[in-house]
């Protein structure tokens, strides 16, 4: 693959916070970034050198992006695969539309994973009323998940029997879904992996993830697992990237069951929230690596130099209580009085409950030190839940 030298233009489909962090990383390497995003004033567009305000399937906007950038990537998985195919006719695109299309559809994703020998929770596909007649009893209790556009716990429902499953499917618009058996979890982890066009692979340390209401709450890195389990998780992540012939940065989320089994939950064809700790705690962040892969540069070192705990900052902390309607600025001094806390705000103008507004990465000489800082910051900001 030919190298795009610093000073060149890189393209980005999507204007959210992941795109913002990509822009900043690419710019630190000397690149200029052009963002295609239908929204004005988004987190990525506000820092990029150029913003094309157009829909993801707008032919004129895509042609303008292809004219401006030597290579293009994405910052979220629901960019239409057709847009990536269109761009690939004239510029380098990473990841490819074929990889993104698999991750966009939960049925395709689980079928791909199982078909390539990766362990997943037992599941059944729900497309029509006829599918309910053959549901095996061992899938209950389970979770109904929409095949497309589900994220942060949206498009999901817990069910205990066939009748509840049918009701959940209908509530989701009778659109294609999967019914997945609920498994007993010891913890959830993720591994972020980078793969270039020649097949070179690199992974970051596994992160241990805690969710609340379906949204990532905290990531602890490195994950508190034995070395053999971590090695197995990293092997799974690189195996998934290779099976996809992936080019770019990919996150593989996994369940660690009570029986010490590793099951792949889902894949995200982009940098991931659970990899934000890499910005401050690793030699090379997931976003810098994304820019390196896109530009055809050598990989940076993914070694973690400092234990870290990443705390998600949702819009809820802008409100005094559950009934408040007027936001107020959180007390950032409560964060920054901790000298090893690294605050990242995404530049979103309007806080809303459950909206990702930023994150703080707490560094420490040990995981326990980082956890102590994270607990203090969560308490001071009014973030509930134990850690």
- Average confidence (pLDDT) over 217-243: 98
Contact 193, 271 (CB under 8 A): no
Average pLDDT over every residue of 34-55:
96
**Contact at 8 Å (CB) between 60 and 54?**
yes
Q: Say what percent of the chain tops pLDDT 70.
A: 99
Yes or no: say if 278 and 191 are a contact pair by the CB < 8 Å rule.
no
pLDDT of residue 295: 98
Structural tokens at position 361: 């990465």
| Domains with residue ranges and CATH for the chain | 9-93 (3.40.50.20), 122-181 (3.30.1490.20), 185-381 (3.30.470.20)
340 CB burial (10 A radius; 0-12, 13-18, 19+): middle
Query: pLDDT per residue over 4-19, tens digit each?
Result: 999 999 999 999 999 9
Nearest to 237 by CA among 279, 286, 284, 277: 286
Q: Please tell me the least confidently modeled range out of 149-158, 280-289, 300-309.
A: 149-158
**Each residue of 199-210: pLDDT tens digit?**
999 999 999 999
Residue 10: name the closest of 32, 28, 43, 38 by CA.
Answer: 32
Please say whether the beta carbons of 245 and 261 come within 8 A: no
Instruction: State how far the Cα of 110 lies from the Cα of 125, in Å rounded to an integer.
Output: 10
46 has a pLDDT exceeding 90: yes
- In this prediction the pTM is 0.96
User: Concatenated DSSP letters for 131-180?
Assistant: GGGG--GGG-SEEEEESBS--TTTTEEEESSHHHHHHHHHHTTT--EEEE
Residues in the chain, overall count: 387
Report pLDDT digits (tens) over 96-137: 999 999 999 999 999 999 999 999 999 999 999 999 999 999
Which of 144-148, 149-153, 261-265, 338-342 has the weakest average pLDDT?
149-153
How much is the pLDDT for 136?
94
- How far is it, in rounded angstroms, from Cα 179 to Cα 110? 11
> What is the pLDDT at residue 77?
86
């Amino acid at each position: 693959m030919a190298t795009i030298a610093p000073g060149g233009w890189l393209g980005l489909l999507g204007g959210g916070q992941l795109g913002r962090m990509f822009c900043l990383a690419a710019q630190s390497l000397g690149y200029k970034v052009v963002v295609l995003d239908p929204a004005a004033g988004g987190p990525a567009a506000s820092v990029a050198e150029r913003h094309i305000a157009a829909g993801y399937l707008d032919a004129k906007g895509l042609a303008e992006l292809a004219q401006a950038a030597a290579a293009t990537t994405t910052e979220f998985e629901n960019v239409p695969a057709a847009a990536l195919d269109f761009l690939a006719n004239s510029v380098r695109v990473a990841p490819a539309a074929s990889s993104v299309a698999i991750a966009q559809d939960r049925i395709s994703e689980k079928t791909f994973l199982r078909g390539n020998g990766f362990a997943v929770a037992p599941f059944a596909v729900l497309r029509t009323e006829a599918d309910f007649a053959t549901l095996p009893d061992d899938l209950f209790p389970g979770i109904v998940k929409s095949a497309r556009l589900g994220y942060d716990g949206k498009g999901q429902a817990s069910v205990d029997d066939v009748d509840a499953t049918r009701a959940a499917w209908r509530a989701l618009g009778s659109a294609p879904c999967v019914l997945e058996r609920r498994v007993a979890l010891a913890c959830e982890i993720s591994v972020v992996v980078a793969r270039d066009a020649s097949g070179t692979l690199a992974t970051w340390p596994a992160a241990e993830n805690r969710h609340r209401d379906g949204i990532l709450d905290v990531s602890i890195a490195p994950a508190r697992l034995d070395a053999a389990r971590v090695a197995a998780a990293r092997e799974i992540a690189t195996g998934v990237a290779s099976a996809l012939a992936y080019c770019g940065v990919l996150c593989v989320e996994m369940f660690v069951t009570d029986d010490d089994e590793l099951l792949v939950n889902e894949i995200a064809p982009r940098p991931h929230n659970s990899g934000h700790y890499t910005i401050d705690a690793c030699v090379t962040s997931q976003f810098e690596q994304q820019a390196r892969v896109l530009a055809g540069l050598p990989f940076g070192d993914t070694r973690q130099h400092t234990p870290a705990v990443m705390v998600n900052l949702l819009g809820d902390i802008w409100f005094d209580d559950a009934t408040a309607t007027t936001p107020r600025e959180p007390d950032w001094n409560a964060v920054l009085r901790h000298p090893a806390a690294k605050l990242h705000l995404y530049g979103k103008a309007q806080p809303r409950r459950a909206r990702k507004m930023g994150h703080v990465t707490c560094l420490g000489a040990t995981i326990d030190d980082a956890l102590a800082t994270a607990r203090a910051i969560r308490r001071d900001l009014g973030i509930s839940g134990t850690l």
